[in-house]
Amino acid sequence: MKRPLTATAGILAVALTLTACGGSDSAADADGVVDLTLGTWALSNAPEFQLLVDEFNASHDDVEVSIREYDTDNYETQMTADLAAGAAPDLYAQKTVSAFVTYQAGGQLVDVSDVADGLDENVTGLGSWQVDGSTWAVPFRQDSWFLFYNKDLFEKAGVDAPDGTWTWDDYAEAAQALSDAGDADGAYQHVWQAALQGFATNQTPGADLLSGDYGYLEPYYERALAMQDAGAQVDYGTATTNSLTYQAQFGKQKAAMMPMGSWYVAMLLAQQADGEADDFAWGLAPVPQYDESTLEEPVTFGDPTSIGINAAVDEGKLDAAKEFLGFIASEDAAVALAATGITPAYQSDAVTEAYFGAEGAPEDELSRQTFQVHDTRPENPVHPKIATVQTILGDLHSAVMSGSTSVDDAIAEAEQRAANEAGITG
């Protein structure tokens, strides 16, 4: 029999009860079960939500969580509309930090600092969900960008595989050698601005998205354009016009290596298992670095994914909702996630063993070290102007990568727009 509602693994200092906030009788059904709804984007793209719900429901008699699925591409638009209409679920996933800032400022999230204060110190990513010293959501996964590489293509081309010491110049040189071998493109850079700007912002000393000074982007764009021109990676125009997917570019062996977020591990494992991706040996390596000074603890980036509580939740459901948040950040939940190739926010030796114990996961030491040792910095700071800045830099990215604007002119325009539209000056 499943256990009753109590604080999970010491998450809260005092056991939670369904009557703590008063009026809880009305929140439970005839069988005494509190029903909670969780808003997420499409489960086909994010199966971790169903996994968390199933694991939680299996161990809790008095709470039943069900999922309300939203469209992946329109998640935040649809969630915003439901929140405004008073029709949103009890809990909802935080997909981006920029949207979280809007939800929090709009009074649409419950302060869950009491849950956060009771979490194990092994939980990472809490800072991205904190405003003015309070925590408004709890992370369950913490993605980091790694370098995925095809061991078979490297061996066939006679090119030395990544060894954890690469700078971006080493990466470009290897990509060219792989492309010259003729079996695949040496590298694939996906069309997202983050696939370039995330590294430039977090690896370049002194770089700051909110500084209004974007000259630090120049060497990253010049390198990417040179790689396109030399045929070391597919050009941006082809990638956008043909709607290329990173899953197919790497999974179908069209590119020998690719910087990508760790969420792709779970996708690749599943796609190789069902034949959607080719069967080949692959591994993880640290993303190339700005220079050799950070090789010991490679600098990368990635935002956590979290879940928050709707501020309009029935008061009698609040303790149950907090119990769920405590569970998603527990080691038990993390091990279950890691066993499917998902990178949890909770990190421990047990999580690492589960991660690399997944069927099809790489077994080499560099992959394991890459997973365990890195300095993951936020893609976006928590700031009300970040959405405006990212829109401006997104326009810069497409203008430069498509060749419609020079790097220098695009940077100058972005800096002017940051001053005019966001009041940010360098």
Does domain 145-300+377-422 fall into CATH 3.20.20.150? no
User: How distant, in Å, are the alpha carbons of 15, 227, 237, 282, 371 from that of 364?
Assistant: 43, 29, 36, 10, 11
- Helix, strand or coil, per DSSP, at residue 414: helix
Give the three-state DSSP class for 66.
Answer: strand
Q: At what angle do helices 386-401 and 407-422 cross, to 10 degrees?
A: 160
Please answer whether residues 310 and 20 qualify as being in contact, where contact means their C-beta atoms are separated by less than 8 angstroms: no
Please give the mean pLDDT across all residues of the chain: 92
Q: Which one-letter amino acid corresponds to residue 343?
A: T
- Upper half-sphere CA count for residue 309 (Cβ side, 13 Å): 25
CA pseudo-torsion sign 63, 69, 73, 77: negative
pLDDT for res 116: 98
pLDDT digits (tens, 9 = 90+) for 353-388: 999 999 999 999 999 999 999 999 999 888 999 999
CB half-sphere exposure, 369, CA atoms < 13 A? 14
Residue ranges of the chain with per-residue pLDDT less than 50: 1-26
Q: How far is CA 359 from CA 240, 265, 284, 304, 341, in A?
A: 33, 11, 16, 25, 9
Q: How far apart are CA 65 and CA 68, in angstroms?
A: 10
The predicted pLDDT at position 30 comes to 67
Rg, Å, the chain Cα set = 22
* One-letter identity of residue 137: A
Burial 334-351 (b: 16+ CB within 10 A, else e): bbbbbbbbbbbbbbeeeb
What kind of fold does domain 8-143+303-347 have according to CATH?
D-Maltodextrin-Binding Protein; domain 2 (3.40.190)
What is the structure's pLDDT at 1? 34
Domain ranges across the chain: 8-143+303-347, 145-300+377-422
Task: Report the C-alpha gap between 121 and 81 in whole angstroms.
Answer: 36
Question: Which residue reads 């630090």 in tokens?
Answer: 216
User: Tens digit of pLDDT for each residue in 379-424?
Assistant: 988 899 999 999 999 999 999 999 999 999 999 999 999 999 999 9
Q: Which residues pair with 23 in a beta bridge?
A: none
Residue 387 amino acid letter: A
Is it true that 8-143+303-347 and 145-300+377-422 share their CATH fold?
yes
